[in-house]
Amino acid sequence: MGWTFSHPLYSLTTEDQNKEAQYVWEHENLGGIAENNNPLPRPVIGLLLLTYITAMAITFPLYGQRPTAAIFADYVTLMNSAEVQKVLHDKKLSHEAADEKAMALIEKTLQHFDSPYNFQRQQHHITMNQLRMIAPKIVELQRSGADLEEYTIVGPTVAKANFFNIQPDGTVIAKQPWWDKGYTIAVWWFLVFCAAVIITVKRLPHFTWQPDHSIAH
């Protein structure tokens, strides 16, 4: 093998070729990264830009796929109102019918008020039975002044879920802003990639498809 560590490697590229590569590298202004500093084909550049923009747009960290306690707070208030309670205690109706009628009444009332939770409410339908189970917990949280958006409805329980790095003992290490740590790293990651790949690809040594028989092995 003849691998000596003081001079581990030698180059097949001649000094002239290196100089030529260096000349090309140094004497271009904003050239592309294809051969001889030609830019990439425009459609390819377009696709790559589109990819980057899409990546950033589609992964924008919006949480909210799970129902938070906040979207049901108004349901609870309405459930405890006199009108709804009257329907619920209507002896003439069967239990199920009363529930349905009461829920219809709540939803009809809610339509009159504009709310940031309208969309989420459509996503997360709730029945009267479920509402009954979570209502006392939501009321309790409201009394204690908690931010209902931090709480997630998980079956019958109203729990702090892990969307905001909440620790088992309840402390919130970081309530994530609209940009989060991972998203920020991703932005830097891409910028450093662009810089590094331009340097690396442009500094590639001379390349030719022609075989070199000057050195016998």
In the region spanning residues 65 to 94, those forming contacts with other proteins, defined by CB under 8 A, are 65-66
Task: Give the range of 46-54, 76-84, 92-100, 142-150 binding other proteins by CB under 8 A.
Answer: 46-54
CA 57-60-62 angle, to 5 degrees, is 140
Question: How many beta carbons lie within 10 A of that of residue 73, not counting itself?
Answer: 19
Neighbours of 25 (CB within 10 A): 14
Secondary structure of residue 138 in the 3-state scheme: helix
Which residue, among 52, 1, 33, has the nearest Cα to 204 in the 3D structure?
33
Q: Taking CB under 8 A as the rule, does residue 196 contact other proteins?
A: yes
The one segment of 43-51, 78-86, 103-111, 139-147 that binds other proteins by CB under 8 A: 43-51
The CA–CA distances, whole Å, from 82 to 15, 78, 87, 202, 214 equal 92, 8, 9, 75, 97
Binders of other proteins in range 2-41 (CB under 8 A): 3, 8-13, 17-18, 33-35, 40-41
**How many of the other CB atoms lie within 10 Å of CB of 28?**
12
205 binds other proteins (CB under 8 A): yes
Q: Check binding of 197 to other proteins (CB under 8 A).
A: yes
Q: What are phi and psi of 159, to 5 degrees?
A: -125, 155
Tell me the C-alpha to C-alpha distance, in Å, between residue 128 and each of 12, 99, 176, 180, 209. Answer: 79, 6, 33, 36, 74
Query: Which lies closer to other proteins via its Cβ, residue 76 or residue 158?
Result: 158
- The window from 71-79, 84-92, 105-113, 154-162 that contacts other proteins (CB under 8 A) reads 154-162
Report the residue number, 48 or 97, with the smaller CB distance to other proteins.
48
Residues of span 170-189 touching other proteins by CB under 8 A: 170, 176, 180-183, 185-186, 189
- Tell the smallest beta-carbon distance from residue 83 to other proteins (Å): 29
For other proteins, which is the closer residue by CB, 101 or 121? 121
Please, which residue, 93 or 161, has the CB nearer to other proteins? 161
